[in-house]
Amino acid sequence: WTTAEQWAWLEGLIPAFVQAQQEKSTGTFFEDTYNEWHEKWPTPAPTEDDIRHAKGSTEKALAVKRKIMDNRIKFWFHNHTRGSSSGAGTRGVLKLSSPAKVVQPWQAYLN
């Protein structure tokens, strides 16, 4: 959903995001980031479908499109800065099966 330029811009803000997390000031970080994003890349005008879904309000349709982009930005930072559980920088695979259990003698005849 981003261009190479937007991706690079977001990556450049990762250290500031991590610092904002440590200082517990992500609200201010995101507010500033959203405003900068929308200055650099304005939200495109809503389509006829967007306006129809917003019950005829162009302003509401534009606000919905902006909120969607804000959520994408927010989740991008959370997804690209979360820690990993291994030294390789990737998360481990979930173990969905449980180890085999020893069956009781009476259960062996039921299976």
Give the C-alpha separation, 73 to 95, whole Å: 31
The token duo for 16 is 């500031």
Looking at residues 8-24, what average pLDDT do you find? 93
pLDDT in tens, 78-110: 999 876 554 555 666 777 788 888 888 878 777
Output the 3-class SS for 40-68: HCCCCCCCHHHHHHCCCCHHHHHHHHHHH
Report pLDDT for 92: 65
| Residue 90: predicted pLDDT | 61
> With contact defined as beta carbons under 8 Å apart, do 34 and 73 qualify?
yes
Cβ 33 vs Cβ 26: under 8 Å: no
Are the CB atoms for 60 and 68 separated by under 8 Å? no
Per-residue pLDDT tens over the stretch 46-84: 888 888 888 888 889 999 999 999 999 999 999 998 765
Torsion of CA 14, 20, 26, 28, to 10 degrees: -100
